[in-house]
Amino acid sequence: MQPVISINELTKTYAGGFQALKAVDLEINKGEIFGLLGPNGAGKTTLINIVCGIVTKTSGSVIIDGYDNEKDYRATRSRIGLVPQELPTETFETPYNVCRFSRGLFGKPPNPDHIEKVLKSLSLWDKKDEKMLMLSGGMKRRVLIAKALAHEPEVLFLDEPTAGVDVELRQDLWNVVRALRESGVTVILTTHYIEEAEQLADRVGVINRGEVILVEEKNKLMRELGKKELVLNLAERLDAIPPGFDGYRLELSEDGSELKYHYDTKGEHTGITALLGALHDAGIRFNDLNTSQSSLEEIFVELVNREA
Amino acid sequence: MNYYAIKAIYRTEMARMMRTVVQSIVAPVLSTSLYFVIFGAAIGSQINEIDGVSYGAFIVPGLIMLSIMTESISNSSFAIYFPKFSGTIFELLSAPVSFVEVLLGYVGAAATKSIIIGGIILSTASFFVDINIAHPAIMLLFLVLISVSFSLFGFILGVWADGWEKLTIVPILVIMPLTFLGGTFYSISMLPPAWQTVSLFNPIVYLISGFRWSFYENADVAIGLSLAMVFGFLATCLVVVWWVFKTGYKLRA
């Protein structure tokens, strides 16, 4: 697949000496939804701001659709839309006017039909002439997305789009993001909510302390790093894990009624058959069993902690 | 060149001015009228003519300058400071525009407003005193150049300021004294010789003197020198703004 953004050896050291990015390499494919995950202060926003031209890089390069983002900044910036993390709004302006302004600022001729379409897709059309200060936080968030889409960008950055947004609006925004991808827009999403990446992203990148520590297809990542857990509800409580089971990674619950067995899905042999056989031989019976897979959130926490 | 961006910024800025029409236009007209009542009619009637011009008419060019300088600075400094303060500047920084478009939009709008205010004050003044303009073209040139360069200066101030205090302190502590001491209400020749020399270090003297020359053909300094000062000030501001955008000073981290 052809990358729409390619970031090479990108570093950023702020004036105070803080190194926010350390030689970041990253490629974003055309038309994908890319989830950029990382704890607070990991460098997510710095990375986005450099690509968009708000922050100047220290070294490295950012190529967007074949154009360098400093030398050919007009070409690159007109292709990008950015929805920032905070909610900065022009208090006394109306949603319609700010969208019209954004479109002009990004060098596109007026197109009332497009603005109407964008505002309607975000359920803002009936609020289009209200002053921004009258709008709720969720509405302001929508207006910022509408502004970013007003100039028909090929690449959309959503920096924590659902921070502080209620459940319903979150679902709405996810639908908007999916619809955008359908229309061919590449979406780069940063988020704290791993669930969001899990729901939306095609690929996931994890950034920690200014370094990209992992980029992987979401499904593959979950398959490879996702641990499975088998829980056995015992018919009779145990005081301790019986001898002879040392070879298995077993865990006994405090009250002795449950045995937990962890296994990797990528392993050739999960060991389940052998374990169940051994339990049978040892005369340990169970009433029920269930398996569960770790979520992206658990994977993420483990990755970040491993780095620390 | 991104013409749509210039239009978008200019239009938005002019709309902002129309929203605050009382503060933008009525206020300067009212304050100027008060100056005329106090200095022109009440005190001015006690003052002799200056170089053959009645005192009321003499202060007209100075008052117009006073207004367009302060208005230009406050308009453009606020126009760029407020987005910085509220955070909406991210959009401008991520837009496909160079400093040329940004300046034509913001400074163009601020200067337009100043020129309109200058025109309004001139017509207001004509109700109080007889005004004849000896060199209308030069008068217009000064009006435009000074509006543009002080709007540029305001833009720089707005970029530099990182708090409301800094934003207001420069106009009050620097520009206002220089303007009042720059011959708004008097001719430099009325001062003792030592103060005349000191006054020549005040750049505003050259601007007001040149502008007044275009009305009455009398000036404290040669008209050529005044024009050179205006162009010099304009060029200095342009270089500073160019540098601000090139280095991202206080705009880009």
Which domain CATH number covers A293? 3.30.70
Is the predicted pLDDT of residue B140 greater than 90, yes or no?
yes
Q: Quick one: A210 and A96 in the same domain?
A: yes
Answer with the one of A170, A190, A222 that is the final residue of a domain: A222
Q: Which residues of B, range 26-45, sit inside 8 Å of A by Cβ?
A: none
Q: What is the crossing angle of helices B223-247 and B99-128, to 10°?
A: 140
Provide, as residue numbers in chain B, all residues whose Cβ is less than 8 Å from the Cβ of A86: 87
Looking only at the bridges linking them, the beta strands covering A3-13 and A59-64 are antiparallel
Provide, as residue numbers in chain B, all residues whose Cβ is less than 8 Å from the Cβ of A115: none
Provide, as residue numbers in chain B, all residues whose Cβ is less than 8 Å from the Cβ of A78: 96
Out of A66-70, A300-304, B109-113, pick the least confident: A300-304
Looking only at the bridges linking them, the beta strands covering A186-191 and A203-208 are unpaired
What pLDDT shows up at residue A280?
A: 86
Are A236 and A285 a contacting pair, CB within 8 Å?
yes
Q: Quick one: A270 and A176 in the same domain?
A: no
Interface contact B19-A92, CB threshold 8 A: yes
Helix (H, G, I), strand (E, B) or coil at B207: helix
pLDDT digits 0-9 by tens, A244-285: 787 777 888 888 888 888 877 666 677 788 888 888 888 888
Q: Quick one: A165 and A232 in the same domain?
A: no
Q: Quick one: A55 and A204 in the same domain?
A: yes
Q: Quick one: A33 and A126 in the same domain?
A: yes
Instruction: Tell me which of B21, B85, B91, B249 to substitute to probe the interface with A (most A C-beta atoms closer than 10 Å).
Output: B91
Return left, alpha or beta for A251; rule: phi > 0 is left, psi -120 to 50 is alpha, else beta: beta
Provide, as residue numbers in chain B, all residues whose Cβ is less than 8 Å from the Cβ of A93: 12
Q: Quick one: A17 and A122 in the same domain?
A: yes
Q: Quick one: A283 and A269 in the same domain?
A: yes
- Say how far apart CA A230 and CA A251 lie, in whole Å: 10
Quote the Cα angle for B229-B230-B235, to 5°: 95
Q: Quick one: A28 and A167 in the same domain?
A: yes
- Say how far apart CA A198 and CA A298 lie, in whole Å: 12
pLDDT digits 0-9 by tens, B6-46: 999 999 999 988 888 887 778 878 888 888 888 777 887 78
Instruction: Tell me which of A83, A92, A105, A155 to substitute to probe the interface with B (most B C-beta atoms closer than 10 Å).
Output: A105
Mean pLDDT calculated for residue range A168-190: 90
Q: Quick one: A171 and A231 in the same domain?
A: no
**Torsion A49-A50-A52-A54 (CA) sign:** positive
The total domain count for chain A is 2
B8 touches chain A (CB under 8 A): yes
Are B125 and B60 a contacting pair, CB within 8 Å?
yes
Provide, as residue numbers in chain B, all residues whose Cβ is less than 8 Å from the Cβ of A143: none
Q: Looking at chain B, which residue has its C-alpha nearest residue A78?
A: B96
What's at A94, amino acid-wise?
T
Provide, as residue numbers in chain B, all residues whose Cβ is less than 8 Å from the Cβ of A91: 86
Interface contact B5-A73, CB threshold 8 A: no
Q: Quick one: A40 and A112 in the same domain?
A: yes
Interface contact A52-B2, CB threshold 8 A: no
Q: Quick one: A108 and A209 in the same domain?
A: yes
Q: Which residues form the domain of A232? A: 226-307
What pLDDT shows up at residue A202?
A: 94
Is the predicted pLDDT of residue A242 greater than 70, yes or no?
yes
> What is the value of ipTM here, to two decimals?
0.88
Which domain CATH number covers A20? 3.40.50.300
What's the length of chain A? Answer: 308
Q: Looking at chain A, which residue has its C-alpha nearest residue B3?
A: A107
Q: Quick one: A116 and A248 in the same domain?
A: no
